[in-house]
Chain A
């Protein structure tokens, strides 16, 4: 197993001792095939137990370990040391307040997720005794990619709109609403529209596309947002120009 010396430049912040964040350098020997998360764990175990960060699954499915690695939002468990030959700069996920070291405050994101009514609002009620809602593989395919979001918030860190306009509901929340809108069993699009078709909803998006570029699960939130724009525009026209269509 070959090893190399890795230099980490980590942004630290402890509100009890620091007025503002500062960088701290760590130098450690690591096996070549490690990821940045392994390096951080090694630092915490052998050099500095005070370093705080979130992590759990180490397989890119829990969404805990999002951080800025060399200025790019990434999952630490999927950032391979072999891709970073120089000093690796590690900072907490951009656009979120720093709680401590690499731990951010994600209250805003959690609130926005809840606001978009991200649960099935059935088109037609069905008793359990009647069995499952029938859904063909094609119908499943229609919304499947939007179910893959692991809530890692890399998209919020990348989104320039969210960075400048914090009240923007954001890519993941709107994509989740779209996931349900596209689900053949769901009939709640109008209910969600109030939140996501609002000014701080999808219309804050200018299709920079950064969200889709950084998404580790290939959810393609940008596509969801554009589709929501079109759907809500069509809805608006229908409502205002053809009011007789209203249920």
Chain B
């Protein structure tokens, strides 16, 4: 029988940086979170563009030309991909945050997410129309 304390709970360490490699679920999560870097970077590109615009037509023309470089195109393709992934994961999760109860049932997740996709689609079309795409 113990008279002195023999307990010694053992704390398993969680690796501070490489924790997410422990499980595919965490890798997917970090992938989603990392999209913010691309979205953030894209926002800076837009800000740079505004800056160039404010400095006159020559500066703005230079900005547009730099956008056409291979590196820039690669960045934009990646950024579009990540932003789309971010939007898709976000829309698919919104029904969890905004449950709509109708009587004893709930509006199906697909309907709520679908409404977001529809809104996204409409806004995109509207923007493209404003930009003179059609």
Contacts and interface: CB of A to CB of B under 8 A. Distances in A.
A141 B97 contact: no
Interface in B6-32: 6-12, 14, 16, 19-20, 22-23, 25-26, 29
B10 A13 contact: yes
Interface string B64-104: 00000000000000000000000000000100111101011
Given A138-B103, A207-B93, A97 B10 contact: yes
Interface residues of B, number: 26
A71 B23 CA distance: 8
A179 interface: no
A72 B22 CA distance: 10
A142 B100 CA distance: 10
B96 A220 contact: yes
A125 B8 CA distance: 47
Contact of B104 (A94, A141, A209, A230): A141
A212 B19 CA distance: 19
Contacts of B103: 138
B9 A105 contact: yes
Interface residues of A, number: 35
A94 B12 contact: yes
Contacts of A94: 12
Contacts of A97: 9-12
B63 to A, nearest CB: 35
Nearest to B23: A71
B12 A226 contact: no
Contacts of B105: 141
A177 B19 CA distance: 29
B9 A98 contact: yes
A226 B97 contact: yes
B7 A15 contact: yes
Interface in A13-41: 13, 15-16, 20-21
Nearest to B20: A160
A163 B11 CA distance: 11
Interface in B22-72: 22-23, 25-26, 29, 33
Nearest to A220: B96
A208 B97 CA distance: 13
A21 B97 CA distance: 40
A163 B14 contact: yes
A232 to B, nearest CB: 13
Nearest to A104: B9
17 contacts: A15-B6, A16-B6, A20-B10, A21-B10, A21-B12, A71-B23, A97-B12, A98-B10, A141-B101, A160-B20, A164-B14, A164-B16, A209-B29, A210-B29, A212-B96, A223-B96, A229-B97
Interface of B: 6-12, 14, 16, 19-20, 22-23, 25-26, 29, 33, 93, 96-99, 101, 103-105
Interface of A: 13, 15-16, 20-21, 71-72, 94-95, 97-99, 105, 137-138, 141-142, 158, 160, 163-164, 206-210, 212-213, 220, 222-223, 226-227, 229-230
Given A20-B10, A97-B9, A208-B25, 4 more contacts: A15-B6, A71-B22, A98-B12, A227-B99
